[in-house]
Structure 1
Amino acid sequence: MINRRHFLATTAAMAGALSLPSILRAQSGDPIKLGSILDVSGIFDAYGKPMDMAATLAVEELNAAGGLLGRQIEKVSYDTQSDMALYTQFAQQLVRSDKVHVVHGGILSASREAIRPTLRKANVPYFYNVLYEGGVCDRNIVCTGITPAQQIEVLIPAAIEKFGKKVYVLAADYNYGQITAKWMSHYVGENGGEVLATEFFPLDVSDFGATIAKIQEAKPDLVLSALVGGAHLSFYRQWAASGMKDRIPLASSTLGSGNEHLVLTPQEGNGIMVAYSWSPSIDIPANKAFLDKWKTRFGDVATINEFAVNNYQGIHLWAEAVKKANTVDHDPVIEALESGIGIDGPSGKIAIDPQTHHAVLDMQLMEIRDQSLSVIKSFSQRQPIDTQKFCDLKANPDDNKQYEIDI
C-alpha cells in the first residue's frame, strides 16, 4: 500500500535562533519544496506508483540526514490519474500556489511536454526520470532515464547475433514508439539486418490476432517490441498462446521497465531479451543498500522497477547539486548540475552530461527468466550520443526544443 501523505517538514526554529529577527527564522525554517507529478492511478499507475514510492524514500532519507541547507524537504505530490490535462493543471498549481523549488515527474513523453513549458517559464528546474526517445534540448530540464542510443545500441546487436537478421518491429503509436522504431531500424541495418515490416498501435489496442498472423506469414528471425502500457501486454500473452513464442524470439525496449514481466507467466516471458540501466541483481553496495532501505520502508522489493530507480537517483542528483550550489536558486543549481556532478546509485555511477543535461550511466543486457531480469552482460558509462548529435547547451544555452533525430 503506497503512503501518499506529504512528509511535511518541521517549521519550528531552533531555540538558539529565538533571538534572530523573525524573517531570518522563517527563512531558516521554511521547507524546501519538491514537486512530484505522476500517474499514481490510471492506466499507467504500474509505472507511477513505484516512482512515487521512490520519491518518498529519497525525501525521507535526505530529511533523516538533516535535509538540505539545514532545511527539511517537503514532497508536494499530485496524482494525474493518467490524464494529460491534469499534468498541465498541476504543473501550474505547483509553481503558482505551492511555489516549489524543483519538480520531478512525468512518465509518457506527452506528459513531459505538457509540463515542460510551464516549468521553464517559471524558472523551476525539472527532472524527467524515465527512459524516453531522446532529443529534448532545454537547459531547464534534466533527463536521467536511458535514451535509444544507450539502450538500443546494446540490445539489437546482441539480439541479432543470437536470433538472426530478419526483424519485425512493433511499437506504440506516439512519439516514443515512432522514434524508437526508427532507432531500431537504424541499428538493425547497422548490424547487417533487415526490417521486414513495422507496425504501430494506439495505447488502448489489446487485440493482436491479425498482427500475429502477419508476423507468422512474414517469418522473421526476431520480433522487436516497443509496445507500451497495460493494454499492450496482451500481445505477449497472445503471442505465447498462439505457439509463436517458441518459434520466433522477442526482444523489447520496454517490457520489464515497469515490472510488466511480473504479471506475465514464465511461459509467456521467459527468454525475452531486454536492456536497462538497473537490475535488482546488480552486485554493488549502493544497490544492496537501496534494496534494504526499500524493504524496510515498503516491504516487497518486487515493486521496484527501472522508473522507480531513475526517480530515486534523479532526486539524489538534484540534492547533490543543491549542496554544491549551497542554494536552491535556479541558476546556481543548474550550473552545479553542468559541472558533471554524479552519484553512486542503485544502477551504478550516474552523472549529468553538461552538453545535453542527460545522464551518463551503465547499461545491463538482460534476459527475462522466471519473472526475473537476469544480467547477461554489463556496459559501462554509456553516453547519450543520440541527443549529443543535435543538442549543445554549452554553445546554445537558450535552446528549447525536442529534436526528432534524423537517423
Structure 2
Amino acid sequence: MKIGLILSHEGLAGIWTLGCQGGAFLAAAELNAAGGVLGQEIDIVQVDSGESRDSACKAAQRLALDENVDAVIGLQSSDLRPAVRRGLAGLAPYIYTPHYEGGFCGPGTAPLGITDSEVLNPSLDWLAQHRGGKRFFFVGNDYIWPRVAHGTTEEAVRGAGGRFVGQALMPLGQRDYAPVLDAIRKAHADVVVIAMLGEDSVCFNRAFAEDGLASSVIRLNLAFDETQLLALADVGTENLFAAQAYFDTSRGDGRDALAERYDACFSGQRPTMTANAVGCYDAIYLVAAIARQVGRIDGCQMAHFLRPRLQRDRAYHMIGRSDAAAGVRLAEAEGIDFVVRSAFSS
C-alpha cells in the first residue's frame, strides 16, 4: 500500500515538516509491524508541495499518476489545498491534517484538524474572563485561512463581550511589521489574535516582543506549536498563548504512550511531538481504516468513500480514538514549554 506524504519541505510551512514526517513514519512502522493493511505493507512516498498552487498541483499529480499512490496525507496552507485535490483528480483520498478555517474541504477530502471557531470562541471568552481582555486586534496573512479567521474572530469577540478594535492582513513573507505594531499600540489592544503561517508567525512574534509590546498585550496564536515556540526562545514569550488539541506538556487522551514511542523511535533526531505530528500519525491510521471499510486497497474507491463529508468525530471513531478530537487546550508559554491553562470540550 502506497501512501503519499505531501508537505512543504521549505518556506514558511517547512518548520513543521520534520515532525509531520516523524508522526507518519511511526504510524506506518506500527501498522507494518502488526501485519500491514489488508495484508499489504505501507510504503510512504514523499513529495514537496512547494509554496505555489502550480507546484502543489504538480506534486499531487506525480503522486497520483507516476507513483500510483493509494492515498495522500498533506499539511498545506488552505490556499494550496484545492490545488492538491485538483492534482489528485479523484484517484486517491486526501487526508488534510492541519488546523484550518473550517467547512467542507471538497469531495474525496477528509480534514482532521481543529477549526478556528472551536479554538476562538472558548479561548477569547477565557481571556476576557481571566485576563481582562476587552479590546481585541486581529493580525493575519492575506489568504483564505486568515481572512476567514478574521470574521470568526469578530464573532468570537462579540460572544466574549469584547470590542474589536482593529485588523491587519499582510502578504506572505512580509517582514516590515512597524505599521502594524504601531496600529496595535494606538488601538490600545488588550489581546492580539495572530493567524500567520509557520515561519511568518515566528517572525511577527519576535518583532512584537522586540518592540516592547509583550509585557502589556496578550497574544493568542492560531496554528502555533512547540516548534515555533522553540524558535522564540531567546526573545520575550511573555503573555503568549496558543490553542491546540495537543500539547506535549499536557498530552491527555492516552497520548503519553504515543509520545514515548515517538521519542524512542527518533532519539531526539526529530522535533518534539506536536499537534501537527499527531495529525499525520492519526492520518495514516485513518487511511488504513478507510481501506478496511472499503474492503480493498483501491485509491478511487477510497476517494469515493469520502465524497460525502466525513465528520472529524466519525474519522476518529473509525481509528478507535473517539476521544481524541474531544476538545481544545488553551496554553500559555513559559520559556520553551506550553503550560495548559484551560481545556474546552468541542
**TM-score of the aligned structures, taking structure 1 as reference length:** 0.77
Contact 2:58 2:87 in 1 (8 A): no
What residue identity is the alignment partner of 2:263? K
Higher relative contact order (CA 8 A, sep 6+): 2
Matched-pair contact (CA < 8 Å) for 1:155–1:274: no
2-side partners of 1:367 and 1:75: how far apart?
35
Normalising by structure 2, we get a TM-score of: 0.89
Contact 1:342 1:349 in 2 (8 A): no
Q: How far apart, in 1, do the equivalents of 2:342 and 2:200 lie? A: 30
Cα deviation for residue 78 of structure 1 reads 0.7
Indicate which of 327, 330, 337 corresponds to 1:365.
Answer: 330
Larger radius of gyration: 1
Q: Which amino acid in the other structure matches residue 54 of structure 2?
A: A
Note the aligned Cα RMSD (angstroms).
2.3
The residue type equivalent to 2:323 in the other structure is: K
Determine the C-alpha separation between the residues in 2 that align with 1:57 and 1:129: 16
Contact 1:127 1:141 in 2 (8 A): yes
Aligned to 1:375: 340
Alignment-derived partner of residue 343 in structure 1:
319
CA positional deviation for 1:219: 0.9
Larger mean Cα displacement after TM superposition, 62-71 or 86-95: 86-95
Distance 1:65 1:253 in 2: 36
Shift of residue 266, structure 1, vs aligned partner:
6.6
Quote the residue 2:149 is aligned against.
180
Moved over 6 A (4+): 336-339
1:226 aligns with 2:195: yes
Is 1:328 the counterpart of 2:304? The answer is no
Distance 1:284 1:225 in 2: 26
Report the secondary structure of 1:90's partner residue: helix
Question: 3-state SS of the aligned residue for 2:194?
Answer: strand
Q: Match for residue 241 of structure 2? A: 273
Pairing 1:46-65 to 2, within 5 Å after superposition: 46-65=15-34
Q: Is the 8 A contact 2:70 2:92 kept in 1?
A: yes
Match of 1:146 among 106, 114, 117: 114
Compared with structure 1, are the counterparts of its residues 295 and 175 closer, same or farther at alpha carbon in structure 2 (3 Å cutoff)? same
Specify whether residues 80 and 325 from structure 1 end up closer, same or farther in structure 2 by C-alpha distance, changes over 3 A only.
closer
Contact 1:84 1:114 in 2 (8 A): yes
Per the alignment, in what secondary structure is the counterpart of residue 374 of structure 1? strand
Counting only pairs closer than 5 Å after superposition, residues 207-246 of structure 1 correspond to structure 2 as 207-246=176-215
Are the aligned partners of 1:159 and 1:251 in contact in 2 as well (CA < 8 Å)?
no
Could you tell me which amino acid in structure 1 is paired with residue 106 of structure 2?
Answer: D
Q: Distance in 2 between matches of 1:333 and 1:175?
A: 25
1:264 corresponds to which letter in structure 2?
Answer: L
Post-superposition CA distance 1:202-223 (Å, at most 9, x none): 1111121222122212212221
Shift of residue 85 of structure 1?
2.4
Structure 1 distance, partners of 2:104, 2:303, is 19
- Could you list the per-position Cα deviations for residues 340-387 of structure 1 after superposition, in whole angstroms to 9, with x for gaps in the alignment? 333356xx824xxxxxxxxx542112111121121122223x2xxxxx
CA offsets, 1:119-146, max 9 Å, x none?
2x33311100111111224331100001
Distance 1:138 1:81 in 2: 21
Distance 1:79 1:102 in 2: 16
User: Percent of counterpart pairs with the same letter?
Assistant: 24
Amino acid of the residue matched to residue 109 of structure 1? S
What is the rounded CA distance, in whole Å, between the counterparts of 1:49 and 1:86 in structure 2?
20
1:307 is matched with 276
2:93 aligned residue (93, 101, 125):
125
What is the Cα deviation at residue 283 of structure 1? 4.9
- Going from structure 1 to structure 2, the CA distance change for 1:283 and 1:183 (only over 3 Å counts) comes to closer
Q: Give the structure 1 partner of residue 231 of structure 2.
A: 263
Per the alignment, residue 82 of structure 2 pairs with: 113
For 1:127, the aligned partner's letter is I
Give the distance between the partners of 1:50 and 1:93, measured in 2 at CA.
Answer: 23
Give unpaired runs (5+ residues) of structure 2: none
Query: Cα offset for 1:326?
Result: 2.7
1:37 aligns with 2:6: yes
Report how many aligned residue pairs link the two structures. 337
Alpha-carbon distance between aligned partners in 2 of 1:138 and 1:214, rounded to the nearest angstrom? 37
In structure 2, relative to structure 1, the CA distance for the partners of 1:122 and 1:283 (3 Å cut) is closer
- Which residue of structure 2 aligns with residue 160 of structure 1? 128
Q: Tell whether 2:271 aligns with 1:295.
A: no
Cα separation, 1, equivalents of 2:275 and 2:155: 25
